[in-house]
Amino acid sequence: MSVRDITQKVEAKMKKSIESFQHEIAAIRTGKATTALLDRVKVDAYGQSMPLKQLGNVGVQDAHTLMVQVWDKSMVTAVEKAIRDANLGLNPAAEGQSIRVSIPPLTEERRKEYVKLTKKYGEDAKIALRNLRREILHGVDKLEKDKEISEDEKSRSKKDADDLVHKYEKQINDLITQKEKEIMEV
């Protein structure tokens, strides 16, 4: 295994960390309706806990309203209860086989809480990147110890690993700034 192989393998993991971070912050409420808000909602249906997506279509009706079109009429009450109990501060209202979910405006205090949460997720993602950097460094140290690379190549590889982490940390910082702007927008 070469330095390049190790770096490529770890960079793929770093990209997955960024994607995971993006998915986590997508579910954080802003003042606008987004289908990602209901991604984590689990419904007790057919004797098991199922993601809401498997029981109906979720769509944005307007900037402050989501519509959930439930496929099975008998599941409307269960879906409505699951949205209410998901601790998102939402109050769904059933209308036939559809459920209207109004997104209430956020209070200033709640906005600040969501910004803090976004930053916490960002810090967790950065820690994951640094742990992956350690994986590169251990691999490079092993290659040098096994006399497969020179000391110069080892130090160059460590600098490349640092540059890689900085590149992805910048992406995380940009995503945090963007999300913070969305949250604080009234």
pLDDT at 118 over 80: yes
Mean pLDDT computed over 14-41: 88
Task: Provide the residue type at 97 as one letter.
Answer: Q
Mean pLDDT computed over 106-129: 93
3-state secondary structure 49-66: EEEHHHCEEEEEEECCEE
According to DSSP, the β-strands at 91-95 and 65-70 are: unpaired
CA dihedral (122, 123, 124, 129) in degrees, to 10, reads: 90
pLDDT at 31 over 80: no
* pLDDT on residue 93: 93
Let me know: does 25 contact 121? Beta carbons within 8 Å.
yes
The pLDDT-based confidence of 122 (bands split at 50, 70, 90) is: very high
pLDDT in tens, 75-110: 999 999 999 998 888 889 999 999 999 888 888 998
pLDDT in tens, 135-166: 999 999 999 899 888 889 989 999 999 999 99
- Whole-number Cα distances in Å, 44 to 50, 59, 61, 113: 6, 21, 25, 29
pLDDT at 180 over 90: yes
Token pair for 130:
């640094």
